[in-house]
Amino acid sequence: MHAVLIHGGGHGAWCWDEVRNRLAGLGHASSAFDLPGSGSDPTPRGEIDLAAYISSAIDHVDSIEGDVAIVAHSLAGLTATAVGAARPERITRVIFLAAMIMDTGERGIDSIPEDRRPNYFDMAMQSEDNSFTPPFEEACKRFFPSASEIEARRFYDQLTPQPLGPYLQPNPAGADALARSGVNTSYVLLSQDLTFRPPVARAFAAKVDCAPIEVSGDHCWMLTDPDACARQIADLL
């Protein structure tokens, strides 16, 4: 089974490097790629919407032979439902890792807690390309609070500005579309997640009608505990 690992907002394929190494040691093939405008992808961020993410992910799935499982972290949950619904004959399971899940027609921005939502717009308006990057202290608190300061700085320095566009476009194929496709789903809830706290994560999992698997970890578990993250993914493949 080939696992396609899709990164969340502000991250890139790099965030899965250690997990991929460990999955290989467990006998599982995997791949990761930069979504448009993320990592080293040169797409202008001001032009990016959710449709661009979905198209990029479908292209990546189509480039792989055989069955595929998708692992979607955080914002990538919006992409994963649409990809699963578009390629049900290829995708055996979608594993949502601390992921945002919306129904068809819903927007990602509306799932962001109201006290944080204005900051997204403010930061994007101050940028030249409608993108944003949280300050170091905020990123440490929400993404990788269990990391040492040295590790957190290393992670933070690899983040790239997140386009606001994907948050604003209504999802063309959300949880309801994925359910109709018949693709199997799993949801991994991280008990120390300060981005999507457990009650929010449980509500996301309910949208795909699966009981969440609750484990100890913070939002960017693939960075702060790649061993445990890889083992959990392998158990679900």
Domain of residue 84: give its range: 2-236
Q: How many domains does the chain have?
A: 1
Cα–Cα distance measured from residue 203 to residue 212, given in angstroms and rounded to the nearest whole number: 10
Closest among 4, 18, 36, 42 to 169, alpha carbons compared: 36
Q: What is the CATH number of the domain that holds 175?
A: 3.40.50.1820
Beta bridge partners of 186: 95
| Cβ atoms < 10 Å from Cβ of 12 | 21
The structure's pTM equals: 0.96
Tell how strand 131-132 and strand 162-163 pair up.
antiparallel
Count, residues in the chain: 237
Query: 3-class SS at 32?
Result: strand
Closest among 220, 223, 16 to 98, alpha carbons compared: 220
Instruction: Going residue by residue through the chain, which has 237 residues, state the pLDDT in tens, using 9 for 90 and above.
Output: 899 999 999 999 999 999 999 999 999 999 999 999 999 999 999 999 999 999 999 999 999 999 999 999 999 999 999 999 999 999 999 999 999 999 999 999 998 888 888 899 999 999 999 999 999 999 999 999 999 999 999 999 999 999 999 999 999 999 999 999 999 999 999 999 999 999 999 999 999 999 999 999 999 999 999 999 999 999 999
